[in-house]
Amino acid sequence: MILRRAIAGAAMLALVTTPALARRPDRAPGVGTANPSALIAAEIAFARMAREKGQWTAFRETAAEDAVMFVPQPVRAQTWLSGRKDPPASVQWQPTQVWMSCDGTLGVTKGAWQQPDGSVGYFTTIWQKRWKKTDYRWVLDQGDSLAQPLPDSDMLSASVADCPAGGGPRGDMQRPEPAKGAPGMTGEGRSDDGTLTWRYSVAADQSRSLVVSLMKNGTMTEVMRSDVAAPKAP
């Protein structure tokens, strides 16, 4: 079912809220080059790799050097994943929502996951386009379990930020070097053109929040919020 839904979802992307953008070929970042279908393709490839090569192998091979995940405390994904043995069966997941910056340098996907033991939940993944390359790497991955699965749907929704009045990315802008060491209890990021931002915060009890904002009608508007409760004591 996961493969059927993923393929159907990719086909339906041409019918979502930004059809013209969804059909544009992937190219160098700039005004109007957002391509939500590229993130769906990245998610489909990510999920397929997890099934075929192993869950943690897929996470490791698609993560940015400074990617963050929560276990439940924030950790550098590449450090935590290094040498970690893949489980016998991978979690499965399907993206259902996409948000993307005007310039296509940053995007967010959200959807449902299912564990082999029958447990279900949702995920949120933040993807960043690599400079000088055309692919995406995830820079943050998080989610939570749910008592009931998300509503079943073969439809995907996509929302692209309004383009900034001043044009594309600043010519003097340089992406910072990958962060070293353990991540902090707060973290944030933005697209190169500033039209999509994200920020997470983790409390002392390991509860956390993730907020994603998108430029709409001249204002940065919160479009996604994920609040995850503190883990239960063993």
191 CB-near residues (< 8 Å, 6+ apart): 101, 102, 103, 105, 106, 161, 197
CA dist., res. 92 & res. 95, Å (int): 11
Asked whether the predicted pLDDT for residue 15 surpasses 70, the reply is no
Asked whether the predicted pLDDT for residue 25 surpasses 50, the reply is no
State the CB neighbour count (10 A cutoff) for residue 84.
Answer: 13
Asked whether the predicted pLDDT for residue 114 surpasses 80, the reply is yes
CA dist., res. 226 & res. 147, Å (int): 16
SS3 assignment, position 51: helix
Average pLDDT for the chain:
84
| Upstream peptide bond of 116 is cis (omega within 30 degrees of 0) | no
Asked whether the predicted pLDDT for residue 17 surpasses 70, the reply is no
- The pLDDT of residue 179 is 72
| Upstream peptide bond of 72 is cis (omega within 30 degrees of 0) | yes
- The pLDDT of residue 160 is 96
Q: DSSP label at 217?
A: T
Pairing state between β 157-160 and 92-100 = parallel
Asked whether the predicted pLDDT for residue 233 surpasses 90, the reply is no
Percentage of residues in the chain with pLDDT exceeding 70? 79
Tell if the pTM clears 0.95, that is, is over it: no
Asked whether the predicted pLDDT for residue 170 surpasses 90, the reply is no
- The pLDDT of residue 203 is 96
- The pLDDT of residue 176 is 61
Taking a C-beta distance cutoff of 8 angstroms, is the pair 96, 110 a contact?
Answer: yes
Asked whether the predicted pLDDT for residue 66 surpasses 50, the reply is yes
